[in-house]
Amino acid sequence: MEHSGFSPSASAELASEGGPWQRRRRVEALERFAAFEQPTTTLEDWRYSRIDELDLGLYAPVRPGDARTAARHGHHEPAALLLEQLGPALATVRSVDGVVVAIDQPRESQQLRLTTSAELGEPPPGLGELVAHHDDVFVALSDAFSGDIVVLDVPAGARLEEPIVILHEQLLTETADGRRPASFPRTVVRLGEQAEASVIEVLVSGPGRRLVVPVTEIDLAAGARLSIHTLQELGRDCWHLGYQASRLAKDAHFTSFVAALGGDYARQLTRSSLEGAGSEGRLLAVYLGDGEQMQDLRTFQEHVAPHTRSQLVFKGAVGDKARSVYTGLIGMRHGARRADASQTNRNLVLSEGAHADSVPNLDIEENDVRCSHASAVGPIDPELVFYLESRGVPPAAARRLVLLGFFEDLLGEVPSRASAEHVRRAVTERLLAMEVTA
């Protein structure tokens, strides 16, 4: 695939970023990128998406030097407020347009190692491996143009009380050659045996059209427990193509919570692979669309080992002319005996012009498993509104209560209260501004 913006010369701009292994990796990725076709909606993975609208020729990767300059000259104001709302953090990473500009962490901690790829003499184990199932033109771009990879290691037995916050700001409004900026935040999270941690990833951007492709890979050793929250609050001109892939060893426990609120077209792919016996994954998400936004969520609950459990609850609302699509696959692989998976997707459609699709899928190779899925798309239930009105609640207030309650049901389940509280506030604010006409 040839695009002058994502050229070998653009890649050469990254030459001084990281060691030899990273340069070799970028060169290989650029070749992979060149060999890929841009996906189209005729592919099952991209059905219902807006991928046909994307012209990669309009974009170019941000040069690390430009990102650092932008970082020195300012920051995204709402981000500071957001960090405040999230409360105390054990460590904070700030990246600007995919380049890490600050890491704030306790000195000489035995509890965690937070570095960037530039400081590593060899690739962090697992890099690229977890997301390999979804290798495509965008993952190849991430491999080719990631400036810094954030690498978080939590050693065996460590228990982190406070979260690690990773803030990805996108600031540049234009690349040096006058194109729309493309940025590639990249994160690797690894927990040793019995380690416990929580991570909050935040994606924000300033004004302007741009492409943001975050890739996060998560590897949990036996008995490790991680919760990761992804707060996608990108600007409304932004195209977002996010990937999160996790792998769980024996008895590991994983909670992923995604709040997909921003973006013009925003796609989040979440894959959780339960490879160790007794491991458990909980996947939670809320998503909102208004204006002409589209939220596109794809999930993969992969059960590989016996006695694995996964629970997924994704809830969304669309108003105005917004769209959403949820596509979820439960994969029960041969050998996943006694595995138990559930998948729930509920959508509220708040106006005539809005549209939501819900597409659950099952792929079952093992007999001795339990699977359940439920999906619903529809307006606010008039029976609920009637019931509240019958208690003397005015109609508009009744609809608002039902709407907020729809999400509250899920937000109540989210670990880390500060983060859930922030999302609750953001969701409430957005919903109150949305006109309910259906």
Partner 1 sequence: MSVLSIRGLRASVAGREVLRGIDLEVRSGEVHAVMGPNGAGKSTLGNVLMGRPGYTAIEGSASIDGVELLGLSTYERARAGLFLAPQDPTEVPGVPLAAVLAEAGIGARAGQMAVEAARIGVPTALLERGLNVDASGGERKRLETLQLAMLRPRIAVLDELDSGLDVDAVRAVARRVADEIGSGASGARPGAAAEGEGRREPLGVLVITHYRRLLEHLLPDVVHVLVDGRIVESGGAELAEQLERTGYGEHQPPGSESPLST
Which of 181, 244, 235 minimizes the C-alpha distance to 211? 181
The label of the residue with tokens 């690390």 reads: 64
Site for partner 1 in 324-383 (CB under 8 A): 382-383
User: To the nearest whole angstrom, how small is the minimum distance from the Cβ of residue 417 to partner 1?
Assistant: 15
Distance (Å, whole) CA 348 – CA 273: 29
Q: How far is the CB of 314 from partner 1 (least distance, A)?
A: 15
Closest CA to 273 of 315, 310, 298: 310
Provide the minimum distance between the beta carbon of 391 and partner 1 in the complex, in angstroms, as a whole number: 5
Identity of the residue, 291 or 387, whose beta carbon is nearer to partner 1 in the bound complex: 387
The answer to whether the Cα torsion of 137, 165, 150, 10 is positive or negative is positive
Size of the site for partner 1 (CB under 8 A): 24
Amino acid code (one letter) for 232? Q
Phi, psi of 281 (to 5 degrees): -125, 135
- Pick out residues in 376-405 that bind partner 1 (CB under 8 A): 382-384, 386-395, 397-398, 401-402, 404-405
Least distance from C-beta 188 to partner 1, angstroms?
35
Cα within 13 Å of Cα(207), Cβ side: 0
Closer to partner 1 by CB, 138 or 406: give it.
Answer: 406
420 binds partner 1 (CB under 8 A): no
Collapsing DSSP states into helix, strand and coil, what is residue 188?
A: strand
Shortest spacing between CB 392 and partner 1, in angstroms: 4
- 125-154 residues near partner 1, rule: CB under 8 A: none
Whether the CB-CB separation of 303 and 339 falls below 8 Å is answered with yes
> From the centroid of its chain, how far is CA 287?
11
Which of the residues 96 through 125 are near partner 1 (CB under 8 A)? none
Q: Which is nearer to partner 1, 57 or 394 (by Cβ)? A: 394
Which residues between 3 and 62 bind partner 1 (CB under 8 A)?
none
Choice between 156 and 386, CB closer to partner 1:
386
Nearer to partner 1, 269 or 348 (CB): 348
* Cβ nearer to partner 1, comparing 193 with 408: 408
Nearest residue (CB) to partner 1, 29 versus 284: 284
- Selected from 406, 422, 423, 427, the binder of partner 1 by CB under 8 A is 406
Residue nearer to partner 1 on the CB measure, 3 or 400: 400
CB atoms within 10 A of CB 100: 26
E strands, 82-223, are 91-96, 99-104, 113-116, 149-154, 164-170, 180-183, 186-191, 196-205, 210-212, 215-220
- Answer for which of 399, 407, 419, 423 binds partner 1 (CB under 8 A) is 407
Q: Which is nearer to partner 1, 197 or 398 (CB)?
A: 398
Residues 98, 68: Cα–Cα separation, whole Å: 10
Q: How far is the CB of 403 from partner 1 (least distance, A)?
A: 9
Q: Binding residue for partner 1 (CB under 8 A) from 44, 88, 412, 433?
A: 412
Among 161, 177, 365, 409, binds partner 1 (CB under 8 A): 409
Q: 3-state DSSP call for residue 319?
A: coil
Helix (H) or strand (E) segment spanning residue 260 = strand 253-260
Give the Cβ contact number of residue 83 at 10 Å: 17
β-pair type (309-318, 265-274): unpaired
Among 408, 415, 418, 421, binds partner 1 (CB under 8 A): 408
The residues of the shown chain that bind partner 1, judged by CB under 8 A, are 382-384, 386-395, 397-398, 401-402, 404-409, 412
